[in-house]
Structure 1
């Protein structure tokens, strides 16, 4: 989520099985073993949508029928999957690094500032504030590269306006204002418009990735290159992170293109891209597709004395820790005026609320439903376990449950 008042108000007013138990004791090439394990998964795809709570997306009146009905019935519906914070960026960072939010990432890094680190706590959390983490703070891509595995990020619209961002490894200059916070309508100069948002591209916030621009440019690319990469299993990365543009991820509603946006446009995007992924050789052989949301969107709304107050529950699961960089809750921020009312946003707690998620894989039986609570740190830990990696940040938290036998129901 960005500080996009119109979209925010529209959304607000609209509405233990540990990995070791699954891994077993075999080693080497698990794809050749008689009994599959989670390590039989060799290609992971994460496709992240925006700003919807579970009841809106998966309830009886959903407009996202392809996701909530067709795709959920093909794999596993996670009824208790939680974001780790509000707004967008802190959630994306959590998914690939296990780092918790700080006051600047929790406002989506309106300027692309350095993270000023003053220390590291016992949980591997960088202490400080800012946007772009020092090279010493590692990510899932760093782990994959060190293990000889491959990764790519696919970002829709990245590079549409070269004056804003490059078509690969696209981000603002350090210290500059991030002009991708708002979508750009089509014009003579930018025929397609540009709805890329740096804050939905988590790789850009780590010096360990962006400092080698040539290498970053090979790994973080525009979405349409995914089709060619999926042509064979050999050209498909082990880990793939897919970010639609601000319209197609459901963030904006309506969109600068005139599209409806919200879940309607997100569902249409899935109808186009999910079959491309699931029909690919890599997915059919040993793939896992994870469709999640960054955070929930529901807010209780009150209006009094010229002030509209939106209150987010900020619910958490999984014994999530707040992290060392955020103050006490509840917290309230002023967001300016809208239709003559002063707008205040309050968070009762630091979580991202229940969004739900859908997972599809040859290793998941159709119609699986999980009621186990998971969050973005669980996601990171699960991917690390799949590829036999260590655990970063809060993915290493004692007692955190990775995706288990309640989801991977076709391992026998």
Structure 2
């Protein structure tokens, strides 16, 4: 009995320590990525317009490159390392992510993935609805090859279970499937899904308690224009700023710098530490003492900077970001791409027989 009592007290103390972790502005952040839509098209969608009265519109928020996959890994790791396609990649385990910073402060995290069949699902796609390229956490081997971490990359059905159990992570990244995110459909389909998915969460007191919700798109559909994407901040954290517009220059790197500033996490030493492209969301910067840069003529953010994931890197004069990652051997790039090629050949052969 004494042993059981000691164990129970230890568990209670551990739980209390966890709930005691507070952010300067928010205790939870919930990020949702939609797909491939020019700002003007998203801004003209009536269903998306309806959310403006409920939060803060960020009308100068940018993706960081093209196509989709590098935007996702940049949002999790502070760089896209020269990646310029949507192939199968496995970034070496010595490359850190936001997960490393969160875990150092004992903060919890999860990546919710629609139509992923299992936790830690590492294949390229599932039933044409889930795709690895939209799941940045599984692309980093520091997560994918660590069983404890990888268990936090879960099917999206786990979200309701976590809410019901009061196990809402401090940091959550939600990826809709290829239909709901607008990739294989239209922005009208994506906004219709969002209108069904989001309001129940925003009205759920267990979920929304001191939570910042970020809705954004990964990139523009048109590559030659500025990579400006429609982005909203919602939740009780922005209750005093409803129906306002913030025209500060932000990028996907701001997702990192905002989280880092909120919990004093430090940074990854990549573009999340580049003040020019990683302004902290103003609603957070005001309370954390962070000074944002006044960028009056934002770069287009539609080029590709060199890095170890680009076999033939080409620098763009329109992008301001500079990769700070260490180069890797050609084998580190070749192996994942060979795997993707073999998988494609196997699928083609299977279709023939």
- Whether these two folds match at TM > 0.5 is yes
Contact 1:292 1:355 in 2 (8 A): yes
Q: Which residue of 2 aligns with 1:273?
A: 197
Larger helix share, 1 or 2: 2
Matched, 1:145 2:56: no
Q: Which residue of 1 aligns with 2:140?
A: 206
Contact 1:85 1:295 in 2 (8 A): yes
- 1:331-346 to 2 correspondences below 5 Å: none
Q: Secondary structure at the match of 1:363?
A: helix
Contact 2:262 2:284 in 1 (8 A): no
Q: Secondary structure at the match of 2:70?
A: helix
**TM-score in terms of structure 1 length:** 0.60
Q: Which residue of 2 aligns with 1:359?
A: 233
- 1:152-301 to 2 correspondences below 5 Å: 152-159=110-117, 167-172=118-123, 178=124, 180=125, 184=127, 194-213=128-147, 215-231=148-164, 234-252=166-184, 261-298=185-222
Deviation at 1:156, TM superposition (A): 0.5
CA distance in 2, matches of 1:56, 1:243: 21
Q: Secondary structure at the match of 2:228?
A: coil
Contact 1:370 1:407 in 2 (8 A): no
Contact 2:64 2:71 in 1 (8 A): yes
Q: Which residue of 1 aligns with 2:69?
A: 89
- Which of 391, 401, 404 is equivalent to 2:279? 401
**TM-score in terms of structure 2 length:** 0.70
Q: Which residue of 2 aligns with 1:58?
A: 43
Q: Secondary structure at the match of 1:235?
A: coil
Contact 1:30 1:40 in 2 (8 A): no
**RMSD value over aligned CA atoms?**
2.3
CA distance in 1, matches of 2:78, 2:21: 27
Q: Cα–Cα, structure 1 residues 78 and 408, in superposed 2: closer, same or farther, change >3 Å?
A: farther
Q: Which residue of 1 aligns with 2:32?
A: 47
Q: Which residue of 2 aligns with 1:378?
A: 254
Deviation at 1:407, TM superposition (A): 8.9
Q: Which moved more, 1:46-55 or 1:373-382?
A: 373-382
Deviation at 1:280, TM superposition (A): 2.9
Deviation at 1:97, TM superposition (A): 0.6
CA distance in 2, matches of 1:66, 1:77: 14
Q: Which residue of 2 aligns with 1:333?
A: none
The gaps in structure 1 that reach 5 residues or longer are 1-28, 32-37, 113-130, 160-166, 173-177, 185-193, 253-260, 299-311, 316-352
CA distance in 2, matches of 1:145, 1:369: 33
Q: Cα–Cα, structure 1 residues 267 and 398, in superposed 2: closer, same or farther, change >3 Å?
A: closer
